[in-house]
Structure 1
Amino acid sequence: MYYLRLARGYRSLDLARWLLTATAAAVVAAFLLRALGRALHGTGGNLERLLWCLPPLAAVGWFAAVAARAVPAQHPERVAGLTAAGAGPARIRALVAGETAVACALGSALTLLLFLILRNDIAGPGLAADIGMGVPLPAAAPVALLAVLPLVAGVSAAAAIRFPESLPGRPAEPGRHRYGALRLLLPAPVLLAGAGLELYGLRPDATDAERTLALPGGLPATSPALLVGWALAALALALWTGPLLALAGLLLALRRPAPLRLLAGRTLAAQARRLGAPLAVLTAVVALLLVAWRDGARTGADVPALNLVESLLVLACAIAALAARLHELRADRRPALDALDRLGTPPALLTGAAALRVLAAGSVLLLTGGLTVLLCPLR
């Protein structure tokens, strides 16, 4: 009953978030049910198909976490009402997680209904192996598979919400805009280890026999050292995204800045910690897709339709997560923007500061993303 009343008060952004969550869950459920149908049909490769379901499942969980964290900032009146009614942080966290789980459950249920309809001698021979037509379907198998989606999304949403600073009426904890020494130095050995593994895999006496790791999607086989080295290097560059954003903000506000540079630099430095993770994830996804496209263009291999759909889903979830984080940051800055407006700040100054922040952040992402693509061992 609570979620029905909640849906009546949905705004356009809430409805878009809910529909995107349900749609993404429906697509992932289709991947899971296809893996189940193939397993029932006995075509082999069951473990590989289930592993291919992990990236979109992780993407849905990531989007659910970022979107749930933005809910208290987007709806302070709702959280304030729940707090006044006696709901504590655990209760509010459970309610937000339940809302996300309900969206995933409805999307999965629609996919399961379509799956069962197609199994009723409606699908053609091209889909017979994907849905396991002609083979009895254990009732517990699809239910167990599809229960993973609401569970992962709900747990991710519950773990992402931060209290007590997100609750209205509670004293806000002082924000930390600076990175500690460990956070700044940790990516360095990771990057060195990744570069060392790549150099070892690309050594002159390396033979093609070492490329024993077959990659899916038509990509060429590679050696475990090259793949692990690139993964470590990409992880290090992703960990440096936030500190580089903060450094770019500090450089903008360096040496007696004008109001435009001061406002843009201070804001970027303050938002770097919360912008770093969504931007790093989006940059890593785009870099991985560019690497796959580059290799596919060289070899002329056709991209499987399922791989294309999965890539688009992961990219859409990464973009939606970044949009949710930007909306959350704007909601947090609304009091400061209102104060600047009351002081008579020209709108052109705020627009110019936003454009300068986008330019600085884009330069950082070009650096980290470009290095990620260049370090890829697939040639």
Structure 2
Amino acid sequence: MYYLRLARGYRALDLARWLLTATAAAVVAAFLLRALGRALNGTGGNLERLLWCLPPLAAVAWFAAAAARAVPAQHPERITGLTAAGAGPARIRLLVAGEIALACALGSAFTLLLFLILRNDIAGPSLAPDLGMGVPLPPAAPVALLAVLPLVAGVSAACAIRFPESLPGRPAEPVRTRYAPLRLLLPVPVLLAGLGLELYGLRPDATDAERTLALPGGLPATSPALLIGWALTAVALGLWTGPLLALAGRLLALRRPEPLRLLAGRGLTARARGLGTPLAVLTALLALLLVAWRNWARTDTEVPVLTLVEGALVLACAVAALAARLHELRADRRPALDALDRLGTPTGLLAGTAALRALAAGGVLLLTGGLTVLLCPLL
């Protein structure tokens, strides 16, 4: 209880993060309970519906990991108090992971309560198949199904917190701005393999009979080679996002830069490692949504509501994870910003460097995202 008292004192940002986690967990729990209700009715396709729940589950786990990683940087005084009270890295990690798992559990419990209320002859005929009305509900089935969500989110949060550099009083590791040669060369074979599979799927003698993979959401059927090839190319371009951000920062600071270009270039180079992964994930999701939207508009297909809800949830989790990472990086650079403020740096100069960094990062994302869209075989 002493550790919980030290962990109190939520701010508006903490409450927003907690509510976002609980809301996202409630939506994913609704998808899982719908799959359970359909399975109780024996409508078939149970495995496919459960697999369709994996993207939002992974999105919630990704957001939980990003939010947990940002906690030590956002609240150094809280971590200091826990450390002074005798809590080690493992106990602090368990405390943060338990907080996120509790939010997911409460969101899941709210959805389960609503599910049970609607099953009590309240829902209309349109919702009856999704709720499994008329079929006895095994008590252990929804509990076991919904226990996966807080477990996955808690484990992701516990694994995301980095030690020892996140704890006050420990020596901070120097910021690495260079990438190892293996990190730079790894995407090359992945990209070549993806392009090879796409060319194989688009060969002139390929027939429509090979398009045996039915995509959800009204998207056209495709072949496994095309889908796997595009996934590999997207992964390769995502792996290059961080190095390209660092390269853009170095290009900004070339020659004899004025203070605006120097601060923007050095700042972008220092943040490239932290921003590379969340920006790559967000760019890939936006590219996928753009491709899907163009296909829906081209074929005049009515988009299922559940597909829109799931896409909005995954995109919201990606944006929230990026916001958490940006807040974490800003907290890490707070001493440097305070030093610049004590030196009398004009506010307009700092705003200009932020705008220039955003412009350079936007150019990199436009390059990687545009290539991801152009290489998609569904266009």
TM tier, smaller: over 0.9
CA contact (8 A) 2:6 2:81 kept: no
User: 1:278, 1:222 → 2: CA distance?
Assistant: 28
User: 1:246, 1:7 → 2: CA distance?
Assistant: 36
Q: Quote how far apart the aligned CAs of 1:335 are.
A: 0.6
Partner of 2:346: 346
Matched residues, number: 379
Report % sequence identity: 87
User: 2:280, 2:329 → 1: CA distance?
Assistant: 17
CA contact (8 A) 1:17 1:67 kept: yes
Q: Which runs of 5+ in 2 are unaligned?
A: none
Show the 5 A alignment for 1:180-219: 180-219=180-219
The AA in structure 1 aligned to 2:298 is R
CA contact (8 A) 2:7 2:78 kept: no
Answer yes or no: is 1:247 the counterpart of 2:247.
yes
CA contact (8 A) 1:3 1:99 kept: no
User: What is the SS of the residue equivalent to 2:127?
Assistant: helix
Partner of 2:261: 261
Relative to structure 1, the CA distance from residue 101 to residue 3 in structure 2 (aligned partners, 3 Å threshold; closer, same or farther) is: farther
User: What is the SS of the residue equivalent to 2:126?
Assistant: helix
Q: Quote how far apart the aligned CAs of 1:187 are.
A: 0.3
Q: Quote how far apart the aligned CAs of 1:175 are.
A: 2.1
Partner of 2:168: 168
Partner of 1:24: 24
User: 2:177, 2:250 → 1: CA distance?
Assistant: 11
Partner of 2:376: 376
User: 1:161, 1:153 → 2: CA distance?
Assistant: 13
Show the 5 A alignment for 1:221-370: 221-370=221-370
Relative to structure 1, the CA distance from residue 6 to residue 302 in structure 2 (aligned partners, 3 Å threshold; closer, same or farther) is: farther
User: 2:6, 2:85 → 1: CA distance?
Assistant: 15
User: 1:49, 1:6 → 2: CA distance?
Assistant: 43
Partner of 1:49: 49
User: What is the SS of the residue equivalent to 1:251?
Assistant: helix
User: 2:289, 2:143 → 1: CA distance?
Assistant: 32
Q: Quote how far apart the aligned CAs of 1:8 are.
A: 4.8
The AA in structure 2 aligned to 1:294 is R
CA contact (8 A) 1:284 1:369 kept: yes
The AA in structure 2 aligned to 1:37 is G
CA contact (8 A) 2:6 2:78 kept: no
Q: Quote how far apart the aligned CAs of 1:173 are.
A: 1.5
Q: Quote how far apart the aligned CAs of 1:177 are.
A: 1.3
User: What is the SS of the residue equivalent to 1:125?
Assistant: coil
The AA in structure 2 aligned to 1:101 is A
TM-score of the superposed pair, with normalisation by structure 1: 0.99
The AA in structure 2 aligned to 1:120 is N
Q: Quote how far apart the aligned CAs of 1:4 are.
A: 6.7
Relative to structure 1, the CA distance from residue 158 to residue 206 in structure 2 (aligned partners, 3 Å threshold; closer, same or farther) is: same
User: 2:146, 2:214 → 1: CA distance?
Assistant: 29
Q: Quote how far apart the aligned CAs of 1:203 are.
A: 0.8
Q: Quote how far apart the aligned CAs of 1:6 are.
A: 6.6
Show the 5 A alignment for 1:125-144: 125-144=125-144
Partner of 1:150: 150
- Runs of 4+ aligned residues of structure 1 deviating over 4 Å after TM superposition are 1-8
Relative to structure 1, the CA distance from residue 90 to residue 4 in structure 2 (aligned partners, 3 Å threshold; closer, same or farther) is: closer
Q: Which runs of 5+ in 1 are unaligned?
A: none
**1:305-344 CA distance string (max 9 Å, x none):** 0000000000000000000000011111111001001001
User: 2:213, 2:221 → 1: CA distance?
Assistant: 5
Relative to structure 1, the CA distance from residue 4 to residue 41 in structure 2 (aligned partners, 3 Å threshold; closer, same or farther) is: farther
User: 1:332, 1:159 → 2: CA distance?
Assistant: 20
CA contact (8 A) 1:108 1:146 kept: yes
User: 2:4, 2:98 → 1: CA distance?
Assistant: 12
The AA in structure 2 aligned to 1:369 is G
User: What is the SS of the residue equivalent to 2:123?
Assistant: coil
**What root-mean-square deviation, in Å, do the aligned CA atoms of Structure 1 and Structure 2 show?**
1.1
User: 1:156, 1:2 → 2: CA distance?
Assistant: 25
